[in-house]
C-alpha cells in the first residue's frame, strides 16, 4: 500500500474513467450476425471498440464470420481498406453463441429479423442477463420500440438505432425514442453515434420512422411500374439514378436490402397505417416466394455474381 501511495505521489493518480461517457466505451455486444449485424460489429471494431458478436448456433456464426472476412477482402481489392485494418477489425470481434458473455456489457445492439415476437423474446433474455444500467438498442426499422421495451424491467434504457445498409458507407443513423426512453439514454446514444462517426437523426416513435417510411413507397411504385410493363428494370433504375442524382436505382436498392426484409417492412407499415401505398406489390411477393431475395441469393430484380456485383445482361 505504501509503495502504491509513493507511486501515485510521483506520477499522480490515474484519472477515473467515466463509464457514462460513450467516448470511453471499451466493449459492446451485437446480437444477430446477419448483414446488418456484421456491418455494425465491423463499424464498432473499426472505432476501437471490442465487440461480442452473438449468433444462434455455431453453423450460422461460422458462416457470418466468413462473410464478414470476405466482405472486407472485397474492400481490400477495391483499395477501400488495408489488410492490416482487416486484421485489426477481426481481432476486436469475438464471435459466440453464448449470450451469457453479454452480462458485463454496458451497450448491447440487437440486429435480428424484423419480427416483434423474436425481438421481444431476445430483449427479455438480455434484460435478465445484463446489469440494470445496461443500454439495450434495437436496430428495428419499422417496429414499435415501446412494445419491444415493454418486456424489460428498465424500458427507460431501451432505444432504437436504425442503421442504413451498407452500415460502413452511410453517414446517418436514426436514433429512435420509445415512449419511456430517458433523456440520459438518448444523450448517451447520441454521443455513441458520434463516436462511431455517424450523424444522429432524432426520431420519435412512429411506424417506419423517417427513412423507411419515405423510401418504401418509392420502392413499391418502382416494382409496380416493372410489373405493369412500363419499362425494364434496368431502364427504371437508370431513369431514377440520372433523373434524381441517386447512387442506386430503387430496384437495385431493394435487392441490396433483401427483398424478404423489404416485404416485411411493407407489411408492417400497411398493417399499422392502413395506407394502400404500403401494400406489397404482387411481383415482390412472387419473387420472395420463389426465393429470389436479391444480392444475398444472387438474384432479385437483377442477377449478381459471387462478389455481389450486378451482372449486366
CATH of the domain at 188: 3.40.50.720
Three-state DSSP at 213 gives helix
Q: What is the 3-state secondary structure (H, E, C) of 269-282?
A: HHHHHCCHHHCCCH
4 falls within a domain:
no
28 three-state secondary structure: strand
Question: How many Å apart are CA 143 and CA 268, to the nearest integer?
Answer: 8
- Of the residues 151, 169, 204, the one at which a domain ends: 204
Asked if residue 82 is part of any domain, the answer here is yes
From first to last of its 313 residues, the chain has per-residue pLDDT tens of 555 555 455 555 545 556 678 888 899 999 999 989 999 999 999 999 999 999 999 999 999 999 999 989 988 988 889 999 999 999 999 999 999 999 999 999 999 988 999 999 999 999 999 988 999 999 998 899 999 999 999 999 999 999 988 898 889 999 999 999 999 999 999 999 999 999 999 999 998 899 999 999 999 999 999 999 999 999 999 999 999 999 999 999 999 999 999 999 999 999 999 999 999 999 999 999 999 999 999 999 999 988 778 988 7
Q: Which 3 state secondary structure label does DSSP give 107?
A: strand
Q: Are residues 113 and 33 in the same domain?
A: yes
Quick check: is 14 in a domain? Answer: no
Q: Which of 263, 219, 248, 279 is nearest to 113 (CA)?
A: 263
In this structure, the answer to whether residues 182 and 219 fall within a common structural domain is no
Computed on alpha carbons and rounded to an integer, the radius of gyration of the chain in Å comes to 21
Domain with 282 in it: what CATH number?
A: 1.10.1040.10
Q: Does 111 share its domain with 195?
A: yes
Pairing mode, strands 50-54 and 27-31: parallel
297 with 308: CB under 8 angstroms?
no
Give the H/E segment covering residue 86: helix 83-92
Distance CA 309, CA 313 (A): 13
88 and 224, same domain (yes or no): no
173 and 252 fall within a common domain: no
What angle do helix axes 282-289 and 211-227 make, rounded to 10 degrees?
90
The C-alpha atoms of residue 118 and residue 69 are separated, in whole angstroms, by 27
* Per-residue confidence (pLDDT) for residue 309, from 0 to 100: 84
User: Is the same domain home to 102 and 195?
Assistant: yes
Q: Which three cell numbers stand for residue 186?
A: 438518448
Q: Which of 165, 181, 204 is the last residue of a domain?
A: 204
Q: How far is CA 170 from the centre of its chain?
A: 11
Note whether 162 and 248 are same-domain residues.
no
Q: What is the per-residue pLDDT for 133?
A: 92
β strands within the chain, DSSP E? 27-31, 50-54, 93-96, 107-110, 135-138, 158-163, 172-177, 199-204, 303-304, 310-311
d(CA 298, CA 310): 9
Residue 14: per-residue pLDDT:
45
- Tell me whether residue 15 is in a domain: no
Is residue 182 in a domain? yes
Q: Are 290 and 140 in contact (CB under 8 A)?
A: no
232 and 162, same structural domain?
Answer: no
Asked which of 181, 204, 227 is the last residue of a domain, the reply is 204
Q: Are residues 183 and 88 in the same domain?
A: yes
Q: What range defines the domain where residue 188 resides?
A: 22-204
Q: Is there a domain that residue 190 lies in? A: yes
Domain shared by 226 and 165, yes or no:
no
The DSSP call for residue 142 is S
**Does some domain include residue 12?**
no
The answer as to whether 146 is a domain residue is yes
Residue 6, burial from CB neighbour count under 10 angstroms (0-12, 13-18, 19+): exposed
Q: Are 108 and 134 in contact (CB under 8 A)?
A: yes
Strands 27-31, 310-311: pairing is unpaired
pLDDT on residue 9 = 55
- What's the pLDDT score for residue 166? 84
pTM: 0.85
145 and 67 both lie in a single domain: yes
The three grid cell numbers given for residue 160, joined into one nine-digit string: 432504437
d(CA 37, CA 55): 10
Extract the C-alpha cell encoding 4: 502504491
> Is the same domain home to 104 and 251?
no
Number of domains in the chain: 2
* Grid cell for residue 178: 420509445
Amino acid at each position: 500500500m505504501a509503495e502504491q501511495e509513493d507511486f501515485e505521489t510521483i506520477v499522480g493518480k490515474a484519472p477515473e474513467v467515466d463509464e457514462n461517457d460513450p467516448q470511453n466505451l471499451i466493449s459492446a455486444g451485437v446480437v444477430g450476425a446477419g448483414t446488418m449485424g456484421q456491418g455494425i460489429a465491423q463499424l464498432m471494431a473499426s472505432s476501437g471498440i471490442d465487440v461480442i458478436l452473438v449468433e444462434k448456433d455455431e453453423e450460422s456464426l461460422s458462416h457470418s464470420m466468413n462473410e464478414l472476412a470476405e466482405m472486407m477482402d472485397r474492400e481490400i481489392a477495391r483499395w477501400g481498406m488495408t489488410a492490416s485494418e482487416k486484421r485489426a477489425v477481426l481481432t476486436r470481434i469475438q464471435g459466440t453463441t453464448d449470450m451469457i458473455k453479454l452480462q458485463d456489457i454496458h451497450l448491447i445492439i440487437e440486429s435480428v429479423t424484423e419480427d416483434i415476437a423474436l425481438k421481444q423474446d431476445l430483449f427479455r433474455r438480455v434484460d435478465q442477463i445484463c446489469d440494470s444500467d445496461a443500454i439495450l438498442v434495437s436496430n428495428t426499422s419499422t417496429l414499435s420500440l415501446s412494445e419491444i421495451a415493454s418486456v424489460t424491467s428498465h424500458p427507460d434504457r431501451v432505444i432504437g438505432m436504425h442503421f442504413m445498409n451498407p452500415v460502413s458507407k452511410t453517414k446517418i443513423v436514426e436514433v429512435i425514442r420509445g415512449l419511456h426512453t430517458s433523456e440520459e439514454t438518448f444523450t448517451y446514444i447520441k454521443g455513441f453515434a458520434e463516436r462511431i462517426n455517424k450523424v444522429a437523426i432524432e426520431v420519435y416513435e412512429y411506424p417506419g420512422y423517417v427513412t423507411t417510411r419515405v423510401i418504401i413507397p418509392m420502392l413499391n411504385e418502382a416494382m409496380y411500374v416493372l410489373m405493369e410493363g412500363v419499362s425494364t428494370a434496368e431502364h427504371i433504375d437508370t431513369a431514377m439514378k440520372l433523373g434524381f442524382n441517386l447512387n442506386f436505382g430503387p430496384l437495385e436498392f431493394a435487392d441490396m436490402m433483401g427483398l424478404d426484409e423489404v416485404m416485411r417492412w411493407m407489411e408492417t407499415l400497411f398493417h399499422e397505417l392502413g395506407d394502400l401505398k404500403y401494400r406489397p406489390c404482387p411481383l415482390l411477393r412472387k419473387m420472395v416466394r420463389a426465393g429470389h431475395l436479391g444480392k444475398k441469393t444472387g438474384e432479385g430484380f437483377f442477377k449478381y455474381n459471387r462478389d455481389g456485383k450486378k451482372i449486366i445482361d
